[in-house]
Amino acid sequence: MRDENGAFLARELTRLGAPPERLVVVGDRPDELGAALRQGLEADLCVISGGLGPTHDDRTVELLAQETGRELLVDERLRAEIEAVSRSVAERLGRPYADFEPGVRKQASLPAGGVALGLAGTAPAVLLEHDGRVAVALPGPPGELRRLWERVVEHEAAQRVLGRARPPERRLFRLFGPSESAVARVLAEAGEEDGGVEITVCARDLEIMVDLVFSATSAPVAEVLERSLRTAFGSEIFGVDDERGVAELVLEHARAASLKLATAESCTGGLVGARLTDVPGSSDVYVGGVVAYSDELKRSVLGVSDETLRAHGAVSKETAAAMARGARVRLGADVGVAVTGVAGPGGGTPEKPVGLLYIHVEGPRGEMAWNGRVPGDREAVRSRATAMALHLVRQLLTRSRDEAA
């Protein structure tokens, strides 16, 4: 399981000028967790995620109280808040509230002097000042942690610690197209080891993220690195100092052009549509999609002809183009995007191996297509196909915008 919380907190703390000295992943055993807390409590700011639930193995707050020598006390105001949420859940599930009550008291128990900074579900964010230092415990689910993180940053105790920090300068470049090794080579040739610029290169789903963190004295070196990236990759840089996902960018470009978008998916099984609808407010752009896994649905719903399927097969550039056209016409959209391929692990042939993808986008000002083979298991192939489809839509929309300007 990937540690999303550690990466998020490291980025946030670095942005605030307090890069973490260490990241520790620890299990639920009291001795291991207690030892990690003792270490963490030596820092000016210790941020903990997870272990705030209602079950016996959720021990974070209990051990935080133990390691700071504080009594564990029920916060009645917090108990009432958690009770209200739990009663609603009990009613919805048709279970007696008595089943939830022990967990409610457990989650409402705080170390003496600790404060709750809000709830995500029934889990609170907990802040405790101890010996001039600050400890913060946040829920484990990444969405819940991120929802409560701003409450932490805004609290006066955290502000006192972060007020002593010196936030660095930062430039973030997001690229689609070049390989990670090509980006690394350009940075090396530009002198990445010189001048005190901290560089992080991260690759995920065919995107490359280059993060430059530097002080004011290192700004000239950062400028050289930036010029080198822009010269080498040009239009393959699709975002600068912008962490919005590609789905959000696609929706923004379509919205600006007053275009509606539809999807037709085979091997991705609706993942492209899911990424778009993950973005709040997507309904004003995204009209819907068709998951046409079988040839019959490709014919009957998307209008792919028998001749196309017989001559070229379901995994082909011709079928992808017909699917995109079908999505656009039959769903009443301006732009249609289609994905077909072999996700694996079975189903591949020498002519059409696992990882082979055909993606097509059609819009009022033209069309774009991509086909190729991507590496990875079934999950990776589907994830990369989804990213590729969204970026192809982004490229078509930005090209159309530039041509119209």
* Percent of all residues in the chain with a pLDDT value above 90, rounded to a whole number: 87
Domain harbouring 305, CATH code: 3.90.950.20
d(CA 26, CA 18): 22
Domain co-membership, 235 together with 259: no
Distance between CA atoms of 273 and 281, rounded to whole angstroms? 13
Q: Nearest-CA neighbor of 151 among 115, 109, 118, 107?
A: 118
pLDDT for the residue numbered 4? 84
226 and 357, same domain (yes or no): no
The predicted pLDDT at position 38 comes to 96
- Please state, rounded to an integer, the average pLDDT across all residues of the chain: 94
Q: Are 202 and 273 within one domain?
A: no
Q: What is the CATH number of the domain that holds 228?
A: 3.30.70.2860
- Mean per-residue pLDDT, 268-281: 97
Query: Which of 162, 181, 213 is a domain's end point?
Result: 162
- pLDDT digits over 126-165, tens only? 999 999 999 999 999 999 999 999 999 999 999 999 999 8
- CATH label of the domain that carries residue 79: 3.40.980.10
Give the total number of structural domains in the chain.
3
pLDDT in tens, 355-397: 999 999 999 989 999 999 999 999 999 999 999 999 999 999 9
Residues belonging to the chain: 405
Contact 331, 262 (CB under 8 A): yes
Which three-class secondary structure state does DSSP give residue 31? helix
Q: What mean pLDDT is predicted for residues 223-252? A: 95
Q: What pLDDT, on a 0 to 100 scale, did the predictor assign at position 229?
A: 97
Q: Is the pLDDT of residue 176 over 90?
A: yes
In this structure, are 58 and 89 located in the same domain? yes
Report the half-sphere exposure of 46 (CA within 13 A, side-chain side).
24
> Are both 45 and 152 inside the same structural domain?
yes
Last residue of a domain, one of 123, 138, 162: 162
Examine the domain organization and report whether 67 and 36 are in the same domain: yes
Q: How confident is the model at residue 198 (pLDDT cuts 50, 70, 90)?
A: confident
- How sure is the predictor about 11, in pLDDT bands with cuts at 50, 70 and 90? confident
Is residue 367 within 8 Å of residue 356, measured between CB atoms?
Answer: no
12 and 158 in one domain?
yes
Residue located via tokens 């037709």 = 264
Q: 307 and 196 share a domain?
A: no
Last residue of a domain, one of 196, 219, 240: 240
pLDDT at 1: 52
Q: What is the pLDDT of residue 93?
A: 95
Give CA–CA dist 249/403, Å, rounded.
18
Do 190 and 269 lie in one domain? The reply is no
CA-based nearest residue to 266, from 397, 356, 375: 356
Per-residue pLDDT band at 216 (split at 50, 70, 90): confident
Q: Does residue 77 surpass a pLDDT of 60?
A: yes
Contact 361, 396 (CB under 8 A): yes
CA–CA separation, 377 and 389 (whole Å): 18
Q: What is the pLDDT of residue 194?
A: 64
Lowest-confidence pick of 33-47, 100-114, 186-200, 232-246: 186-200
pLDDT at residue 379, as a whole number: 96
> Which pLDDT score, from 0 to 100, does residue 3 have?
76
Q: Are 45 and 37 in contact (CB under 8 A)?
A: no
Residue 193, pLDDT > 90, answer no
Confidence of residue 243 (pLDDT cuts 50, 70, 90): confident
Whether the pLDDT of residue 405 is over 80: the answer is no
pTM over 0.85? The answer is no
Q: What confidence tens digit (pLDDT) does each residue in 282-324 have? A: 999 999 999 999 999 999 999 999 999 999 999 999 999 999 9
Comparing 42-46, 166-170, 230-234, 368-372, which segment has the lowest mean pLDDT? 166-170
Domain containing 254 equals 246-404
Same domain, 21 and 154: yes
The amino acid at residue 138 is L
Amino acid at 257: A
Same-domain check for residues 284 and 213: no
My answer on whether 393 and 263 are in the same domain is yes
In this predicted structure, what is the pLDDT of residue 28? 86
Residues 6+ positions from 175 with CB-CB distance below 8 Å: 183, 207, 208, 209, 210, 229, 233, 236, 237, 238
Looking at residue 404, its pLDDT comes to 66
